[in-house]
Chain A
Amino acid sequence: MKQLTNILEGFGSAVQLLVQSCRYAGTLPRQRARFIEQCYLIGYTTLPIVAILCFFMGSVLALQAGYSMENFGAKQFIGSLVGLSFARELGPVIVAILLAGRVGSAITAELASMKVYQEVDALVTMNIPPARMLVLPRLAAVLVMMPVLAIIGNLIGWFGGAVVSKYVQSIAIEPEAYFAALRRYMKFKDVGTGLMKAEIFGFVVVLICCSIGLSTRGGPREIGASVTRAVVASLISILVLDYFVTKALM
Chain B
Amino acid sequence: MPAMPCPIHRNPITAVESPAVGVTIEGLSKNFGSLQALKNVSFAVEPGEIFVLMGPSGSGKSVLLKHIVGLETASNGRVLIDGHDAAAEGTLEHVRIALVFQAGALFNSLSVYDNLALYPREHRLGTESEIREKVVRALQILSLETTANKFPSELSGGMKKRVAIARALVMEPQLMLYDEPTSELDPVMSATISEIIATLKDEYHVTTIVVSHDRELALGIADRIGILMGGELVFLGPPSELKESKDSRIADFFHPKIDLKNPRFKTLET
Interface residues of A (CB under 8 A from B): 114, 117-119, 121-122, 124-128, 133
B240 within 8 A of A: no
A-B contact count (CB 8 A): 41
Q: Is the CB of A125 within 8 A of B98?
A: yes
CB pair A127–B107 under 8 Å, yes or no, is no
In angstroms, Cα B101 to Cα A114, docked, is: 13
What residue in chain A is nearest B124 (Cβ atoms)?
A30
Q: A127-B92, A127-B93, A128-B118 are in contact. Are A122 and B101 (CB under 8 A)?
A: yes
- Does B92 lie within 8 Å of A118, measured CB to CB? no
Range for the number of chain B residues in contact with chain A: 10 to 19
Would B92 and A121 count as touching, CB distance under 8 A?
Answer: no
How far in angstroms is the closest Cβ of chain B from A244?
36
> In the complex the two chains form, what is the Cα distance from A14 to B33 in whole Å?
25
- The 8 Å CB contact of A122, one of B92, B93, B99, B122, is B99
| Chain B neighbourhood of A118, CB < 8 A | 101, 103, 105
Is B135 interfacial (CB-CB < 8 Å)? Answer: no
On whether the beta carbons of B101 and A126 are closer than 8 Å, the reply is no
Chain A residues whose C-beta falls within 8 Å of the C-beta of B53 in the assembled complex: none
Distance (whole angstroms) from the CB of A33 to the closest CB of chain B: 11
Interface residues of B (CB under 8 A from A): 69-71, 92-93, 97-99, 101, 103, 105-108, 118-119, 122-123, 171
**Is A125's CB under 8 angstroms from B99's CB?**
yes
> B71 touching A121 by the CB < 8 A rule?
yes
Known A118-B101, A133-B122: A125·B92 in contact at CB below 8 Å:
yes
A126 close to B107 (CB less than 8 A): no
Query: Which B residues touch A119, using CB under 8 A?
Result: 105-108
User: What is the CA–CA distance of A119 and B69 in the complex, to the nearest angstrom?
Assistant: 15
Which of chain A's residues has its CB closest to B170's CB? Answer: A126
Main SS at interface, chain A? helix
Known contacts A118-B103, A122-B106, A124-B71; 16 additional CB pairs below 8 A are A114-B107, A117-B105, A119-B105, A119-B107, A119-B108, A121-B71, A121-B101, A121-B105, A122-B101, A125-B69, A125-B71, A126-B119, A126-B122, A128-B118, A128-B119, A128-B123
Q: List 17 A-B contacts (CB under 8 A).
A: A117-B108, A118-B103, A119-B107, A119-B108, A121-B99, A121-B101, A122-B101, A122-B105, A122-B106, A125-B69, A125-B70, A125-B92, A126-B118, A126-B171, A127-B123, A128-B118, A128-B122
- Chain B residue at smallest Cβ distance from A110: B109
Instruction: Chain A residues near B103: list those with CB within 8 A.
Output: 117-118
A contact residues around B171 at 8 Å (CB):
126
CB distance from B250 to the nearest CB of A (A): 30
Give CA–CA (A117, B69) in the complex, Å.
17
Which residue of chain B has the shortest Cβ distance to A118 in the bound complex?
B105
From residue B167, how far is it (CB to closest CB) to chain A in Å? Answer: 8
B101 nearest in chain A by CB position: A118
Q: Closest approach, in angstroms, between the C-beta of A92 and any C-beta of chain B?
A: 31
Contacts of B122 in A (CB 8 A): 126, 128, 133
Chain A, residue nearest B107 (CB): A119
Top 10 closest pairs, chain A to chain B, by CB = A118-B105, A127-B92, A122-B105, A125-B99, A128-B122, A125-B69, A126-B119, A118-B101, A119-B107, A119-B105
Contacts of A124 in B (CB 8 A): 70-71
A122 and B170 alpha carbons, distance in the complex (Å): 14
